[in-house]
Amino acid sequence: MGDSSSFNGDAAVPRLVLAGISKQYPAVRANDDVTLVVAPGEIHAVLGENGAGKSTLMKIIYGAVRPDAGEIRWEGQPVEIASPAAARKLGVGMVFQHFSLFETLTVGENIALALDEPFDLKTLAKRIREVSADYGLDIDPQRHVHSLTVGERQRVEIVRCLLQNPRLLIMDEPTSVLTPQAVRKLFETLRRLAAEGCSILYISHKLDEIQELCDTATVMRGGRVTGHVKPREETHASLAQLMVGHSLPDYTRRTHTPGAVLLDVKQLSAASDDPFGTSLKDVSFSVHAGEIFGIAGVSGNGQAELLAALSGEHRGALAEAITICGKPAGKMGAGGRRALGFGFVPEERLGRGAVPAMSLAENALLTGYRQKMVRSGWIKAGAMRAFAKKCIEAFDVRCGGTEALAQSLSGGNLQKYIVGREILQAPKVLVVAQPTWGVDVGAAAFIRQQLLDLSARGVAILVISEELEELFDICDRIAVLARGRLSPVRVTGDTNAEEIGRWMAGLFGERAEGAAPSAEMPAHA
């Protein structure tokens, strides 16, 4: 990398052409006669709802999935990409949404594992330093991965690709765990790569990013291509309509005034069970009836530990550290907290929010058993199915019915089901982790509106999210969790993404919530 040789000949010849690509799985046609053209040096977005076929298409390009029909042309020549190794040999690199790094190995060792040619660790370390410094992605090859921030881990993934001199780089939801400042740095790197001739395929649900970064976009819906557009010539509304097939409603908030404190956390400290986790240090905040309180932060800064402490999965030493609806609950288990009116939507949908191999009806029983689904120790199958059916209909869950397995649903539809299951139990306090992470714009708008409606009914809602736009859209107050400590609290209208971004990097000192003058309760507009 580093000079115009990356263009590899006549720039008029597309870098990649997909023609008539189709892929059929037993229950769904993931790709249906898909055509895609990517030019040298182009930043090309692929947009679509969850289940639109984007991931399958990227896996086909990267050699992880074989298409049933269609042709792939690489720089004018027909090719078969039989494996990721074959893709890398062509010049295709991919940075996955979920990083594939070994925590206990160094950066250099992790990068070495991905290289297809023989390597010498000392020489490789020198190359890593040179390439990372050249592209403004400074990373020390001697550091262990467990000591890196999420943004630094992403740099490792990108540098690993750059060392293979890619001519096409696939980025899958690359900014979902980055601060606004880190996003800007990433965009600078991607623009430089494109200027040097590297083509970039960019997948994101963040339409503002697409408009800022991408030259062109291919829109997919239901496995088919529904349009090719230039994002900068579109609006958020028009792009969303292309993706979901209809316009999205504006968020509506009913007029109401926040009431009593229903969730109170005082000087909560908790050691992490994970050797690479982050312990909580004197975390204090309160959530009022009718309020949505947001906690931002980069993943790995104590969010998992806070959620475990709030949900009852980790019981603290002091009952008074967590108060739910006026009752000390710090020593209670999950069941005791739910009996007080506590609802919980975990970050991990499959495995914690739902059991993958169980039906939606059976998954309703997991947290909704108090909704007359059990009598004298016997499960009432009819009541269980009726509850699941009500949830499916009320929350527009697209599935095969109450007996559909949780693992058969797209991410967005499973999230709507899990959120709906908690809301239908009429909680007084609801804690939601990453409510729309990886969810398409249509499902995200629906879920956010449900949370706004729930707060209007007097429920105290805590939202822990890495999506700053989401927190600014729906929250009344906002704080940041960084390195296990909570920042000052701000009324959402009194802060901005720049300040919150700095705080996400831990730049807020040792001030407590009470020291923040703008932490006073606002009335809802």
pLDDT of residue 51 exceeding 80 = no
The arrangement of strands across the sheet holding 261-270 comes to 280-288, 261-270, 322-324, 327-328
More confidently predicted of 320 and 513: 320
What's the burial of 255, exposed, middle or buried (CB within 10 Å: 0-12/13-18/19+)? exposed
Tens digit of each residue's pLDDT (9 = 90 or more) over 270-296: 998 877 788 999 999 999 999 999 999
138-153 mean pLDDT: 83
418 contacts 353 by C-beta, under 8 angstroms: yes
Kindly provide the b/e burial profile for residues 217-234, where b requires at least 16 CB atoms within 10 angstroms of the residue's own CB. Answer: bbbbbebbbeeebebeeb
Place of tokens 């956010």: 448
Task: Please report which confidence band the pLDDT of residue 4 belongs to, taking 50, 70 and 90 as the band edges.
Answer: very low
* DSSP-derived 3-state class of residue 240: helix
Half-sphere exposure of 395 (CA within 13 A, CB side): 29
Give the chain's end-to-end CA distance (angstroms, integer): 53
Average pLDDT, the chain: 87
430 contacts 460 by C-beta, under 8 angstroms: yes
Q: How distant, in Å, are the alpha carbons of 294, 301, 500 from that of 185?
A: 25, 21, 17
∠ at Cα 299 (219, 138), nearest 5°? 85
pLDDT of residue 400 exceeding 60 = yes
Q: Which of 100-104, 216-220, 233-237 has the highest mean predicted lDDT (pLDDT)?
A: 216-220
pLDDT of residue 205: 81
Helix ranges (H only) for 115-149 are 121-134
pLDDT of residue 38 exceeding 50 = yes
Candidates 271, 280, 249; CA nearest to 452 is: 249
Q: How many whole angstroms separate alpha carbon 414 and alpha carbon 410?
A: 6
Q: Which positions ≥6 away from 235 have C-beta within 8 Å? A: none
402-420 mean pLDDT: 89
Q: How distant, in Å, are the alpha carbons of 14, 92, 200, 265 from that of 197?
A: 12, 13, 9, 52
Tens digit of each residue's pLDDT (9 = 90 or more) over 511-524: 434 333 334 444 33
pLDDT of residue 9 exceeding 60 = no
pLDDT of residue 102 exceeding 80 = yes
194-200 mean pLDDT: 95
Tens digit of each residue's pLDDT (9 = 90 or more) over 471-489: 999 999 999 999 999 999 9
More confidently predicted of 33 and 245: 33
Strand partners, 31: 23
Lowest mean pLDDT among 23-27, 263-267, 353-357: 23-27
Q: How many whole angstroms separate alpha carbon 59 and alpha carbon 37?
A: 16
Task: Please report which confidence band the pLDDT of residue 255 belongs to, taking 50, 70 and 90 as the band edges.
Answer: low
pLDDT of residue 141: 93
pLDDT of residue 513: 40
pLDDT of residue 420: 93
The arrangement of strands across the sheet holding 199-203 comes to 92-95, 168-172, 199-203, 43-48, 216-221, 224-229
177-196 mean pLDDT: 85
Angle, helices 180-195/150-162, rounded to nearest 10 degrees? 10
Q: Walk me through the domains of the chain, giving residue ranges and CATH numbers.
A: 1-91+167-176+188-246 (3.40.50.300), 101-164 (no CATH), 260-341+428-525 (3.40.50.300), 353-426 (no CATH)
User: What's the token pair of residue 178?
Assistant: 């980055």
Task: Please report which confidence band the pLDDT of residue 254 belongs to, taking 50, 70 and 90 as the band edges.
Answer: low
247 contacts 259 by C-beta, under 8 angstroms: no
Task: Please report which confidence band the pLDDT of residue 114 belongs to, taking 50, 70 and 90 as the band edges.
Answer: confident
Task: Please report which confidence band the pLDDT of residue 5 belongs to, taking 50, 70 and 90 as the band edges.
Answer: very low
pLDDT of residue 177: 67
∠ at Cα 341 (338, 265), nearest 5°? 85
209-216 mean pLDDT: 94
pLDDT of residue 256: 65
DSSP line for 449-484: HHHHHHHHTT-EEEEE-S-HHHHHHH-SEEEEEETT
pLDDT of residue 54 exceeding 70 = yes
For the chain, the C-alpha Rg in angstroms (whole number) is 24
Q: How many whole angstroms separate alpha carbon 334 and alpha carbon 418?
A: 17
98-127 mean pLDDT: 87
421 contacts 249 by C-beta, under 8 angstroms: no
Q: In terms of C-beta distances under 8 Å and separation of at least 24 residues, what long-range contacts does 514-520 make, across chains too? A: 514/284, 515/488, 516/488, 516/489, 516/490, 518/489, 518/490, 518/491, 518/494, 519/477, 519/488, 519/489, 519/490, 519/491, 520/491
pLDDT of residue 7: 41
User: What's the token pair of residue 419?
Assistant: 């959120």
Percentage of the residues of the chain whose pLDDT score is greater than 90:
58
Q: Count CB neighbours of 22 within 10 A.
A: 18
Strand partners, 95: 171
